[in-house]
């Protein structure tokens, strides 16, 4: 089974439109057995997804998708968990796309197991010495000071002075609306991912695992810039990597989310971050 994996098309963002259309033409031309969208396909109403998936209608085989964090951004108090579990599932089925977060994909003796993944702050950078509560609020100390409204993070006497120069925030904090904590959400998704991998291991000989967020610390890109380094807390969770390693039939792992190509080897398989940016779209081909 020849799998083509792409990610982070962000088709709702102006500068991503032209490169996504070029990518769609290329992927439809080269062809494959299965096409996977590894999250952050677009955002907003169902029509946006219809447009984005529609570009790949010329692809001959089944099209599969997982959710990305941008796909569960909501407005007006809507619930991101409902969007993740129900709306995205319906949007995918209306577009003839298999929603991997709901169930694995099977073909012959191979399976593709996918999940959005999330972050439990296991990748948060120790060297910045920023207390956990700032990551939970998705705002760096410098941004909390500048923006105001974060009195609940005080007293800030455990924050080193240079941490006040970290001025970024992670926009999921504004756009993702969950009734449960990020750690609880990560565990909820991880449980489903484990169940799907167990089911696929029963039914199949070979598995390709695809997660939107990063499952292995080696795939997290580090930076000397504190604002970039702060963001690594939201790149993923090592829990997903640990789960993958429990299933020896996994032959290959892909993720998206970080907009940078990264690769690492774990035992028998390679794990790859696809590396699409807003302006340049990337894909990988793997024969499972």
Which positions touch Fe ion (CB under 5 A)?
Answer: 8, 40, 68-69, 257
Cα–Cα distance between 265 and 5 in angstroms, integer? 18
User: Residue 219 burial by CB count (10 A; 0-12/13-18/19+): exposed, middle or buried?
Assistant: buried
Cα–Cα distance between 80 and 179 in angstroms, integer? 9
The least distance separating Fe ion from the CB of residue 277, rounded to whole angstroms, comes to 9
The least distance separating Fe ion from the CB of residue 116, rounded to whole angstroms, comes to 9
The least distance separating Fe ion from the CB of residue 8, rounded to whole angstroms, comes to 4
Q: Which is nearer to Fe ion, 33 or 51 (CB)?
A: 51
The least distance separating Fe ion from the CB of residue 171, rounded to whole angstroms, comes to 10
Q: What are residue 211's DSSP bridge partners?
A: 115, 255
The least distance separating Fe ion from the CB of residue 276, rounded to whole angstroms, comes to 7
Q: Which is nearer to Fe ion, 2 or 21 (CB)?
A: 21
Q: Which is nearer to Fe ion, 64 or 288 (CB)?
A: 64
Give start and end residues of each alpha helix (H) in 140-213: 141-147, 172-175, 182-203
Q: Is the dihedral of CA 180, 245, 215, 2 positive or negative?
A: negative
Tally the residues of the chain.
288
The least distance separating Fe ion from the CB of residue 39, rounded to whole angstroms, comes to 6
Q: Which is nearer to Fe ion, 70 or 249 (CB)?
A: 70
Q: Which is nearer to Fe ion, 36 or 159 (CB)?
A: 36
- Written as six digits, the tokens of 140 are 């760096």
Q: Are strands 34-38 and 2-6 parallel, antiparallel or unpaired?
A: parallel
Give start and end residues of each alpha helix (H) in the chain: 14-30, 46-54, 80-82, 88-94, 132-137, 141-147, 172-175, 182-203, 226-231, 238-245
- Written as six digits, the tokens of 164 are 């006040």
Q: Which is nearer to Fe ion, 133 or 260 (CB)?
A: 260
Q: Which is nearer to Fe ion, 111 or 214 (CB)?
A: 214
Residue 284 · residue 34 · CB < 8 Å: no
User: Residue 106's Cα: distance from chain center in Å?
Assistant: 22
CA atoms within 13 A on the CB side of 116: 27
The least distance separating Fe ion from the CB of residue 5, rounded to whole angstroms, comes to 14
**Nearest residue by C-beta to Fe ion?**
40
């Amino acid at each position: 089974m020849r799998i083509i994996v792409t990610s982070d098309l962000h088709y709702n963002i102006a500068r991503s439109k032209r490169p996504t259309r070029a990518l769609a033409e290329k992927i439809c031309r080269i062809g494959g057995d299965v096409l996977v969208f590894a999250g952050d396909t677009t955002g907003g109403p169902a029509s946006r997804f219809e447009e984005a998936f529609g570009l790949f209608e010329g692809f001959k085989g089944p099209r599969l998708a997982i959710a990305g964090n941008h796909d569960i951004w909501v407005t007006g108090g809507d619930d991101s968990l409902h969007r993740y579990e129900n709306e995205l599932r319906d949007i995918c089925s209306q577009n003839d796309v298999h929603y991997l977060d709901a169930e694995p994909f099977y073909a012959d003796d191979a399976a593709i197991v996918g999940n959005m993944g999330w972050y439990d702050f296991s990748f948060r950078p120790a060297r910045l010495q920023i207390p956990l509560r700032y990551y939970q609020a998705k705002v760096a100390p410098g941004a909390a000071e500048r923006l105001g409204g974060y009195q609940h993070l005080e007293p800030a006497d455990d924050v080193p002075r240079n941490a006040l120069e970290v001025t970024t925030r992670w926009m999921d904090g504004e756009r993702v609306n969950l009734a449960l904590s990020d750690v609880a959400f990560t565990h909820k998704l991880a449980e489903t991912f484990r169940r799907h991998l167990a089911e696929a291991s029963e039914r199949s000989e070979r598995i390709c695992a695809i997660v939107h967020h990063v499952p292995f610390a080696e795939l997290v890109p580090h930076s000397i810039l504190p604002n970039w380094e702060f963001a690594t807390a939201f790149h993923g969770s090592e829990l997903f990597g640990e789960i993958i390693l429990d299933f020896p039939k996994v032959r290959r792992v892909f993720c998206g989310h970080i907009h940078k190509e990264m690769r690492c080897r774990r035992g028998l398989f390679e794990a790859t971050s696809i590396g699409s940016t807003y302006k340049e779209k990337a894909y990988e081909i793997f024969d499972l």
